[in-house]
Structure formats: structure tokens, C-alpha cells
């Protein structure tokens, strides 16, 4: 199996970055040089250094050794909307060249690159590029982060079907307990264990830090 990974989510706001950070820490804990990457990010803040996205900053902070921000997030967009809308609004071109260049630089330096997508599986990045094309283009197995909340079973099954239908390998999934008071939460997780066509890599408790969450992940299915 390829060493680099793509982290997808069942939706936006379900803890995709948290899952990606946990994976970065988990591989670091077994002695690897690991970097997180967010190729395209909308919802970025203006700083003295330029646009900075918090998810990308979190991935940069989790990585070791620390990479340049421009490689972690080669395309930052300001508006907190779908990337294709933010890019159109800001007159930004979304092309493969800077994304490919950043990934090649990171994959040549680190043992493993954990690439986080945007929102759900099929988010448009421009009029011609869509998020699911990233793992296809770079040959990345996919880890799906499932936000455990009402509706998650259908969202997870549909996303898993789309991942496989697009010709990508679904290598595993992570349950992220985003709603601690959800009714029958554990039963929902067990249902997903039975129905998803990939192993569960771990169940991440509500608001557990990424380095602690890393210790709950089973990396064996990822090679």
C-alpha cells in the first residue's frame, strides 16, 4: 500500500482535521517523519505573512520536522465558502501545478504525507477540478473520517460507495465522536463497523487532543 494517505470526511465540520492530526501523530509515534498537507483551504485569515488557514496551521504544527506553510497549504482562500466560489470571488486560479509541486516536495522529504481534503468527498475546487481528483491523481489510499451524529450512517455509506466508485482504495475509517450526548452513539458506531467495507482504525472521544487520540488508532491496516 502507498505510504501517503488522503483523509476525506463525510461532511464539513465533522473533525476531518482532527482525524488527520491524529494520524500524523500516530505515525510520528512509531518513528516516522510525517507531514500534514491541506492542498486547498477556504476560510483563511489575513496575517502579516499572508492568508493562513487554521486547519492547515494545525496540520503544520502536528508535523515533524515543521514544514513551510506554503507547502502545507499551497492555495489559501479567504472566504469561508466552497473553494470554487471563494476562488471565483477572489479571482484566484485553481490549477494543478502548485498543488502537484507542493506534494512532490513534501513526499520527497517526509516518510509519509497525510493529505486532508476539503469538506466532503465531491467538493468542487474550480469549474474543472474537484476534490476527489486529488487522491486519484496522486494515487493515495483514503481514510474516511465519520462524524458520529444523526445521519452519519447514510452519509458514511454513501461516501464509501463514492470513494470506491471513483476507483480509490478505502483503506479504513475513523469514528469521531462529535456529539457526546447522541442517542445510541455506540450502537451507531457498531452499525458502521458492520456496514462499511473497510476496517475501523479507531474511535476518537469528544475533544480528546490529537496526540492522545493518536494512541487509540490502529495503523496496521495502513501498512
User: How far is it, in rounded angstroms, from Cα 4 to Cα 135?
Assistant: 10
CA distances from 9 to 64, 86, 121 (A): 24, 20, 7
User: How far is it, in rounded angstroms, from Cα 139 to Cα 135?
Assistant: 6
CA distances from 205 to 29, 83, 171 (A): 19, 30, 21
Q: In what order do the strands lie in the sheet with 112-116?
A: 34-37, 112-116, 5-9, 142-147, 170-176, 200-204
Residues with catalytic function: 38
Amino acid at each position: 500500500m502507498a505510504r501517503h494517505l488522503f483523509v476525506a470526511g463525510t461532511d464539513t465540520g465533522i473533525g476531518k482535521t482532527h482525524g488527520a492530526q491524529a494520524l500524523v501523530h500516530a505515525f510520528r509515534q512509531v518513528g516516522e517523519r510525517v507531514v500534514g498537507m491541506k492542498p486547498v483551504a477556504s476560510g483563511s485569515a489575513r496575517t502579516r505573512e499572508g492568508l493562513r488557514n487554521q486547519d492547515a496551521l494545525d496540520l503544520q504544527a502536528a508535523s515533524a520536522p515543521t514544514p513551510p506553510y506554503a507547502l502545507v497549504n499551497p492555495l489559501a482562500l479567504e472566504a469561508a465558502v466552497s473553494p470554487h466560489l471563494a476562488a471565483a470571488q477572489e479571482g484566484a486560479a485553481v490549477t494543478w501545478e502548485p498543488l502537484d509541486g507542493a506534494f512532490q516536495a513534501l513526499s520527497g522529504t517526509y516518510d509519509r504525507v497525510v493529505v486532508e481534503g476539503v469538506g466532503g468527498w465531491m467538493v468542487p475546487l474550480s469549474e474543472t477540478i474537484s476534490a476527489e481528483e486529488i487522491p486519484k491523481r496522486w494515487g493515495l489510499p483514503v481514510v474516511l473520517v465519520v462524524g458520529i451524529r444523526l445521519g452519519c450512517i447514510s452519509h458514511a455509506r454513501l461516501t464509501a460507495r463514492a470513494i470506491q466508485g471513483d476507483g480509490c482504495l478505502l483503506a479504513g475509517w475513523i469514528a469521531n465522536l462529535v456529539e457526546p450526548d447522541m442517542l445510541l452513539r455506540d450502537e451507531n458506531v457498531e452499525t458502521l463497523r458492520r456496514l462499511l467495507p473497510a476496517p475501523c482504525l479507531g474511535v476518537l472521544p469528544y475533544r480528546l487532543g490529537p496526540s492522545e487520540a493518536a494512541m487509540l488508532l490502529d495503523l496496521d491496516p495502513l501498512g
